[in-house]
Chain A
Amino acid sequence: MPKLIKDGDITEDNWLPADTDAEAPPAGHLPSLAQWQALPDKSGSALQLEPGDDVSNVLPSLDQLVLVAVHFPVFTDGRGFSYGRELRERGYRGELRALGYFLPDQIHYLQRCGFDAFQFSDEARLEEGLRQANLSAEHYQAAIDEPLPLFRRRV
């Protein structure tokens, strides 16, 4: 079972990354955006977003989703950071998972953008990822983890 970081710990779950070529999601695999859109019933559904996917397609069904995984094919592609914030700002409350090739050093920013689960394609990253997931830090700007910018909090 794939391992991931969640709730301040390393855990496992059953979801496998999306198979975008298939018409329907194979059993156990996350649906891609197109596969998910074809689902007749979206309640309790999960979904995997790719960079370049149009997030506005998902916005009307946010309360039916329990898991949105955002795929990072390469860690320098920062679109996923905006997807995370967009989803959270528009009210998504389910699990928001970063998936793929990103760095432990990005976990903190991902958390700030609303991500709460982290699944590296390279599981050797888990320990360092966990360490970085539990760091606290001060920030200037408002984000999902801290809705007030420092200028509204300075004492």
Chain B
Amino acid sequence: MYLYDQYDQRIVDERVNQFRQQTTRYLEGELSDAEFLPLRLQNGLYVQRLAPMLRIAVPYGMLNSAQLRKLAHITRHYDKGYAHVSTRQNIQLNWPQLEEVPDILEELASVQMHAIQTSGNCIRNTTTDQFAGVAADEREDPRPWCELIRQWSTFHPEFAFLPRKFKIAVCASEEDRAAIHAHDIGVELLANAAGEYGFRVLAGGGLGRTPVIGAVVCDWLEKKHLLTYLEAILRVYNQHGRRDNKYKARIKILVKAMGVDAFREAVEREWEILRDGPSTLTEEAIARSKSFFTAPAYATLDGEASAQSLQARCAAEPIFGNWVLRNTKAHRVPGYRAVTISLKATGFAPGDVTDQQLELLADMADGFSFGELRTTHQQNMVLADVEESALYTLWQQLQAAGLATANIGYLTDIICCPGGDYCSLANAKSLPVAEAIQVRFEDFDYLYDLGPLELNISGCMNACGHHHIGHIGILGVDKKGAEFYQISLGGSQSKDAAIGKILGPSFSQEDVPEIVEKILATYVALREEEETFLQTYNRVGIAPFKEQVYAKTH
């Protein structure tokens, strides 16, 4: 994991002081609300429906145990004892006091954390695969590149007042677990015809009001050019992105308006000046970044023996076996597995975690996974390097803490934004909808029979809950002052990325679970052999679902 040296620490400390000073000037009336707004946003501070919300950066989802303990302390001392994992792998606090935010930032800086550029019209936290470094299908570890992008984008003086927010994601594996097609810039590490690794660069993807799949701007880019090329894209966007209408201000609108070819030409023109300049990555810079993401000191284990004894344990205790099957994943090192900890227990807001759980997770990271833990954009957590022989003990501890829900990748592993309960932009609540669905589908056998299913809920068009790319997407809409929900089907966040199609007229909150049930019953009736929901949907289209859902019962 990346560790600060004196430079990184100085940069973060300077920001804490600056924000303390800005907060004072705001409270003394020297800065107006409107002026303080972008300054606080760039430090992660929103003003929400009930209280300010502070979004803490978790660069590409990596946390160590000391940071987890600090987060536990902060949620307990400055907040109400719980935190929320966002769909950008960040951590959100829902109840901090404005006056105390500088102190919170100072506490964070003491464990090499911050809230820089987690909101506002600037370059946000770069995200990637939660299984980086351990996934069997990985081409190369994406994190050194994420870290280089993080450093380049942090306090970038030219791009702090963009037309709109800007999100970058990096994927370096066969399967895309970072949703790069749905980002302002998606970077995919891949080989060219000569077998050399470089980057394919996509631009103009995004969700929100006008969901768009990113277009290829550069087929293959030599690695050393990564930052100058990103800079060229941002410069075109900063100068030409629309600023007259915030709903048309994302880069996707610019790429559409110019056409991808003209956009690419404009980028190339800017790049000419920047290319081979001082921001061209050096071998040393790349090597330094990579040096922070080397493999931990794995034990040399007999993979076969380990797998056998795990199997025996699973057979002897089926509940444990089921958890292993659903919530753990093959590891590239024999004798290890990656464990996903579900933050989706029924009765708790998806992605919420308490101070005590955070402390326990810190202990587990220390005890089982080299002191590190990851957050995921599906709002869960991952212990990436657990010995198979330790899984049973880990599971027992997770069970005791209510963290062993075996639903990873299934219907109740819902992605859900905070919605109307917290967010001042919301059209409708999202959390009660998630809970009602979880309650309705409590039967795990049915859940598993339904197979892999992604159900995503957003409380408004801003799509923080990524509803467009859920196999089933639910969007809160406002209908003459009442909260309604629009349902879409067939979205996907993987390499075959797709935007879901709207099923039809929206539904009231009470009706949503039943509608979901009808959709799934339709799938079960139509599926062939091993077909997943998405495969069936892609084969039969939306019509049969529509028919069933809107059929008159009388």
Please list the residues of chain A having a beta carbon within 8 angstroms of any beta carbon in chain B: 51, 55, 75-79, 81-83, 85-86, 89-90, 103, 105-106, 108-110, 112-113, 128, 137-143, 147-152, 154
Contacts and interface: CB of A to CB of B under 8 A. Distances in A.
Given A78-B160, A81-B161, A89 B11 contact: no
B157 A143 contact: yes
A152 B282 contact: yes
A140 B4 CA distance: 12
Contact of B238 (A78, A110, A148): A78
Nearest to A139: B155
Nearest to B35: A103
Contact of B161 (A55, A77, A147): A77
Given A79-B238, A82-B158, A151-B285, A138 B152 contact: no
B157 A140 contact: no
Contacts of B35: 75, 103
Contacts of A89: 273-274
Contact of B155 (A51, A90, A140, A142): A140
Contacts of A142: 277-279
A149 B278 contact: yes
Contacts of B161: 75-78, 81, 106
A78 B159 contact: yes
Given A105-B18, A138-B7, 5 more contacts: A75-B161, A82-B238, A89-B274, A103-B31, A143-B157
A81 B30 contact: no
B238 A141 contact: no
B77 interface: no
Given A81-B238, A139-B11, A154-B5, A112 B157 contact: yes
A81 B154 CA distance: 16
Contact of B278 (A110, A139, A147): A147
Given A138-B14, A142-B277, A151-B285, A79 B239 contact: yes
B38 A76 contact: yes
B37 to A, nearest CB: 9
Nearest to B228: A142
Interface of B: 5, 7, 10-11, 14, 18, 22, 25, 30-31, 35, 38-39, 121, 148, 151-152, 154-162, 227, 235, 238-239, 243, 273-274, 277-279, 281-282, 284-285, 288
Contacts, number: 103
B168 to A, nearest CB: 15
A98 B157 CA distance: 14
Nearest to A136: B14
Contacts of A86: 235
Contacts of A113: 157-158
Contact of A81 (B10, B148, B151, B158): B158
Contacts of A85: 158, 235
A152 B31 CA distance: 37
6 contacts: A85-B158, A103-B39, A109-B158, A141-B152, A154-B5, A154-B7
A150 to B, nearest CB: 6
A81 B14 contact: no
A82 B278 CA distance: 18
A106 B38 CA distance: 11
Contacts of B160: 78, 81, 106, 109
4 closest residue pairs by CB, A with B: A78-B161, A112-B157, A151-B285, A109-B157
A1 B22 CA distance: 30
Given A140-B11, A149-B278, A105 B239 contact: no
Contacts of B156: 141
Contacts of A112: 157-158
Contacts of A147: 278
B22 A105 contact: yes
A81 B157 contact: yes
A105 B11 CA distance: 16
Contacts of B162: 78
B11 A138 contact: yes
Nearest to B284: A151
Nearest to B273: A89
Nearest to A55: B239
A96 to B, nearest CB: 14
